[in-house]
Amino acid sequence: MRKFIIKRILLSIIIFFFVMLIIYTLMRCLPTSYIENVARAKSQQPGSKSYEEWMAQLTAMYNMDKGILMGFFGWLGDFMRGNFGDSWYYTIPVVEEFHNTIWISFIMGLITMFFEVVIAIPLGIIAATKQYSKADYTISVVALAGISLPTFFFASLLKLLFSVKLGWFDLFGLVGRNYEQLSAVGKFLDKANHLFLPCLTLVVISIGSLMRYTRTNMLEVLNSDYIRTARAKGLSEHKVIYHHAFRNTMIPLVTIIGGSLPGLFSGALITETLFSIPGIGYASYHAMVGGDIPFSMFYLAFIAILTLAGNLISDILYAVVDPRVRIA
C-alpha cells in the first residue's frame, strides 16, 4: 500500500512538472507586445513605477531574458521555495490575495457539496430502484437539465426572479450596504443571505452528474448476483436495497466524493464572477483577464495540484474501500 501511494505521488509530481512546463511555455509564447502593454498600462496607473521599471521587473520575474526551459526552472525554483511574487493586478503579494479569498470559496464549496450529496444520492437511489417509472424519468431528465444548464443563464434567471421581482436578495456582492452597522449575528445573516443564490446555482448545476452516477452504479449493483441471492432468501425489499445494494453502491460514490474534496478549494470561477463574490475564482478571473501573470501562474499551479490530489485521493480510497481491489 505504502509503495503504491509513494509511486502515485511521484507520478503526480512528474505530471505536475510537465503540466506547468506546458502552461509556462504557453505564457511565454504570448507575444511580448502583450507584456509590454501590461507594463505600459501598469505604469500609467497613478503612483506607479515607471514603464522601464515594470518591464525590468516583468522580465526578471519571469526570467524572460533567459530561454524558456531555464526560465521555467527559475519559476519552478521560486515556486518550490514559496516565493510566488507580487500580484500585478492586486498590488499585494500573491499569497496574501490568496489568503484573502480562499476561505469564502471554501465555505461556498462546502455548503454546495453538502447539499449536493444530501440531495443527489437519495434521488439517484430512488431513480434506480424504480427504474422506468415516472419518478425515474423525471429525475433523469431533471438531472440532465441540470447538467445542460448554462451557469450564467441560470444565475441570471435566479437574479431576475429572486432579486428583481421578489427583492429578497441583492444582485451582487458578499455583503450588503449597511454591513458595517450590523451586529455579529446580523453580519453572519447578511453574508448567508448573499451566499444563498450563488450556492443555489452551484447546487443545481452540479447535482445532475452525481445523481446520474449514483443511479448508474445502483443499477449495476441491483443487477448483480448477490442481490438476486438476497431476494431469493426472502429479505425484505427495504433491506435488500438499503443494506445490501446501497453499501456496494457506496464504493464508487466514496471514491468520487473523496476525489472531489480538493476541489472545494478551487473556487467557482463563473459563479463567483457572476455574483461578484470575492472568492478565489473571482479574484483569479480578474487577475487572468487583467494580464496578471504571477497570480495566474499561481492559480493554475494551484488548480493543477488540486486535480492531482483529487485523483490521488480517489485512487487510494478505491483501494481502501473496496476489499476486492488488491494493489500489487
For residue 203, the minimal CB distance to another protein (Å) is 9
Placement of cell 455579529 in the chain: 184
- The minimum distance between CB 126 and another protein, in angstroms, equals 17
Amino acid, single-letter form, for residue 322: D
Per-residue binding string, another protein, 98-117, x by CB under 8 A, is -------x---x--xx--x-
Which position among 24, 27, 62, 245 is part of the footprint of another protein (CB under 8 A)? 27
The footprint of another protein on residues 268-297 (CB under 8 A) is: 268-271, 273, 281, 284-285, 288-291, 296
* Part of the chain binding another protein (CB under 8 A), chosen from 7-15, 47-55, 188-196, 318-326: 7-15
- Told to check if 213 binds another protein by CB under 8 A, we report yes
Alpha helix (H) ranges present in the chain?
A: 2-29, 32-43, 51-61, 68-80, 94-129, 134-148, 151-158, 184-222, 225-232, 237-239, 246-260, 269-275, 280-289, 293-321
Interface positions, 33-62, toward another protein (CB under 8 A): 33-34, 37-38
**Of the residues 1, 69, 92, 141, which one makes contact with another protein according to CB under 8 A:** 141
Q: Which of 328, 143, 323, 312 is nearest to 251 (CA)?
A: 323
Query: Which residue type is seen at 82?
Result: G
Residue 182 or residue 321: which is nearer to another protein going by CB? Answer: 321
Report the residue number, 45 or 236, with the smaller CB distance to another protein.
45
Q: Does 176 bind another protein (CB under 8 A)?
A: no
Could you give the dihedral angle defined by the CA atoms of residues 319, 320, 322 and 327, in that order, rounded to the nearest 10 degrees? Answer: 30
Closest CA to 217 of 195, 196, 240, 246: 246
Q: Are 245 and 303 in contact (CB under 8 A)?
A: no
